[in-house]
Amino acid sequence: MSLSAENTPDNSTINHSTEPLLKVENLTVRFSVNRKGLFGKKEYLYAVDDVSFDLNRGETVGIVGESGSGKTTTALAIARLVNAHAGKVTMHGEDFLALEDEDLRRARARCQFIFQDPYSSLNPRLRAEAVVREPLDSLTTLSEAEKRESIDRLFAEVGLRHEQQRLFPHQFSGGQRQRIGIARALATRPDLIICDEPVSALDVAVQAQILNLLRKLQHDFGLTYLFISHDLGVVQHMCDKIAVMYMGKIVEYGDRLSLFNNPQHPYTKALLSAVPAVYRRRGESTERISIPGDPPDQITKPAGCRFANRCPMSMDVCTEDQPELTNITGSHRAACFLTQ
């Protein structure tokens, strides 16, 4: 079986159903950490703990959280760049985590990744055109002429000039390098693109160019994005639905308007209030909720809510039981006893 890069979503039968493009169920990723010497008991750090969400075609779902919250690990596990310990990832109705060999190769062509650091994610020894060609060589069976044509088109789509194809990565600016990364991700015409902090390594003025480009491409090709970021302003601008993660768990999930206008979880509220306000109006209307300290040690999982020790509204029950992610209104869900 071969996959053509021209294989638009309409050719597939599964895609016409209303089923979500990507379904993540109870995804868990753990890393083993040996703490007590050579013969000590093996302990595990649960970087992602029982995470579930859906991603519909053409939508952008954002995962936001601080460093160590597990947002990048979630993305890596979905793309099978780290191994999941438990859980299920269904893409196009197939169990993506169970695929092997040829099936996996075919599926990988439909799910591509844009990395955070445009400096280290491009091979310095390859010319820009070779960087973009790599996924075409390894994941598709296009003829040489078709590949040539694809590369030309991709460069035009991401706003790079034709003669820049011959240059090496170090000859590009950060923003241009990220454009090469985007062209590489688009090469196999995937349905799903996972963007892991795509603009956080870029200068402010260049960020806007890349964010506008990502939205234009989404509009033109009906792309679906899983968008990982720590920048709440960027997430608010880019995403239709947002999952807020804290210590490996989703603590709140909701659509853009509902989550930002009416945040429910104390962590989400604290996170939003910590962002400095540029305009006086927002500065005056938001009350600062400060959360002291750092997240607790991730290896010894607390029995109750993971946020309880920093939460300004913590109650007795919070240190004893784990709150489940429960519906508030519509698709808006929060894992907090206060909202239940």
Partner 1 sequence: MPALLKVENLRIELNTRDGISPVIDNLSLELYPGETLSFVGESGCGKSMTALAIMGLLPDKVGRVAGGRILFNGENLATASNERLNEIRGNDISMIFQEPMTSLNPVYSIGEQIAEVLRRHQALSNKAAWSKAIELLDAVRIPDPQSRVSDYPHQMSGGQRQRVMIAIALACEPKILIADEPTTALDVTVQAQIFDLMRDLGRQSGSAIILITHDMGAVAEMAEHMIVMYAGRKAESGPVQKVIESPRHPYTQGLINCVPHLLAELTEERPQLAEIDGIVPSLKDFGRDECLFASRCEFADTLCRSQRPPGFDFGDDQIAACWRAGEIH
List of residues contacting partner 1 (CB under 8 A):
66-67, 173, 175, 203-209, 211-212, 215, 230, 232-234, 236-238, 256-257, 260-261, 270-283, 285-286, 288, 290-294
Work out how close the CB of 314 gets to partner 1 at its nearest, in angstroms, rounded to a whole number: 16
Give CA torsion, residues 182, 183, 187, 189, to 10 deg: 60
Helix (H) or strand (E) holding 282: helix 280-285
Q: Which two tokens stand for residue 243?
A: 């999952």
Q: Quick check: helix, strand or coil at residue 45?
A: strand
Where helices occur in 12-93 by DSSP H, the ranges are 71-78
> What is the spatial distance between Cα 217 and Cα 200, in angstroms, rounded to a whole number?
19
Work out how close the CB of 215 gets to partner 1 at its nearest, in angstroms, rounded to a whole number: 8
Work out how close the CB of 8 gets to partner 1 at its nearest, in angstroms, rounded to a whole number: 26
Nearer to partner 1, 1 or 292 (CB): 292
The beta-strand segments (E) located in the chain are: 22-34, 42-55, 60-64, 86-91, 94-95, 111-114, 192-196, 224-229, 241-246, 249-255, 326-329, 332-334
Nearest alpha-carbon partner for 256 in 274, 241, 234, 235 = 241
Work out how close the CB of 327 gets to partner 1 at its nearest, in angstroms, rounded to a whole number: 21
Nearer to partner 1, 276 or 330 (CB): 276
Nearer to partner 1, 37 or 293 (CB): 293
Work out how close the CB of 46 gets to partner 1 at its nearest, in angstroms, rounded to a whole number: 19
Nearer to partner 1, 165 or 268 (CB): 268
Nearer to partner 1, 140 or 207 (CB): 207
